[in-house]
Chain A
C-alpha cells in the first residue's frame, strides 16, 4: 500500500475487556514498531519486530500487552483486561530495515478509550 494503515481508527471499550489493534505496514518493510502516545506527549516505544519475531519488547508495560506478526507483514497488538490508564493513541510504524537508524513511517493511529 501507499502508507501504513491501522484499524480501527477509534475503539471504545469497557474496563476489563479484551481489544485487538491492527497494523498493515508499507509493503516490503521488514521492521515494524508499536508506540503509544498520550495527550501532549511524544510517542512511547512498546515493541519492535524484525520479520516475524519480536526483536525488542522492552517497552511493553506489563503482561496484559502482547503483539504478534505471524507472517512478517500485518501485526496485531493485543491488550487483555483493559484499564482506564490504557486509553491513548496507539501508533504503528514501519521501516525498510530494522536495527536503525532508519526513518520510520507512521500510520494514523488507533485512538483507544477505556471507559
Chain B
C-alpha cells in the first residue's frame, strides 16, 4: 500500500535559520511527487511537482529535491510569512496520497 510519512510533525525556526523538511514514501510506480503549502482555514496551495529521482526545483526561498525513497523541502533564510503547514503527496494512479504535513513556525 502506498505510504507517505513526513517529518518532523512540527518545526520552529528563528527567522533566517535554514532547515529541511522530509517526506519519505513507499509507492509502486511513482508518477509524481507534489509539495503543497496550507495556511490555516485554507486549501492547499501548489508549490512543486517532481517526476524523477535527481530532480530539483526552486522557488524563492524553497528548494525541493527527490530521491527514490524520499523528498526534501529545503527552506533557506525563512521569514515569518513562510509559517504554514507543508504537505507532501505522491501520485501513482488517479489520486494523490498525502502525508500528514509538517507544521512550520518561523519566529521573527
Which residues of chain B from 36 to 87 have a CB within 8 Å of any chain A CB? 36, 41-46, 49, 51, 87
A42 with B42, Cβ < 8 A, contacts A100-B94, A101-B91, A103-B34 known: no
Residues on A facing B (Cβ under 8 Å): 4, 33, 40-45, 48, 55-56, 58-59, 91, 93, 98-101, 103-109
Give every chain A residue within 8 A of B95 (Cβ-Cβ): 33, 45, 48, 56, 58-59
Chain B residues within 8 Å of A, Cβ to Cβ: 4, 31-32, 34, 36, 41-46, 49, 51, 87, 89, 91, 93-101
Would you give 30 A-B contacts (Cβ < 8 Å), ordered by A? A4-B43, A40-B100, A41-B101, A42-B4, A42-B87, A42-B99, A42-B101, A43-B87, A43-B89, A43-B98, A45-B96, A45-B97, A48-B95, A56-B94, A56-B95, A58-B95, A59-B95, A91-B43, A93-B43, A98-B94, A100-B93, A101-B31, A103-B46, A103-B49, A104-B96, A106-B43, A106-B44, A107-B43, A108-B41, A108-B43
Query: Please, how many angstroms separate the alpha-carbon atoms of A42 and B34 in the complex?
Result: 13
Residue from A42, A44, A109 whose CB has the most chain B CB atoms within 10 Å: A42
Given known contacts A43-B98, A108-B41, what 20 new A-B pairs fall within 8 Å (CB)?
A: A41-B101, A42-B89, A42-B99, A42-B100, A42-B101, A43-B87, A43-B96, A44-B98, A45-B97, A56-B95, A59-B95, A91-B43, A100-B31, A100-B32, A100-B93, A101-B32, A101-B51, A105-B46, A106-B43, A107-B43
Q: How far, in Å, is A54 (CB) from chain B's closest CB?
A: 11
Which residue of chain B lies nearest to A9 when distances are taken between CB atoms in the complex?
B41
CB distance A100 to B87 under 8 Å? no
> Which B residues lie within 8 Å of A98 (CB)?
94
Q: Whole-angstrom distance from the CB of B5 to the nearest CB of chain A?
A: 11
CB of B30, distance to nearest CB on chain A (Å): 9
Shortest Cβ distance from residue B62 to the other chain A in the assembled complex, whole angstroms: 15
**In the complex, what residue of chain B is closest to A103 when comparing beta carbons?**
B46
Q: How far is the CB of B96 from chain A (nearest CB, A)?
A: 7
CB closest residue in chain B, given A101: B32
A104-B94 in contact given A42-B87, A42-B100 (Cβ < 8 Å): no
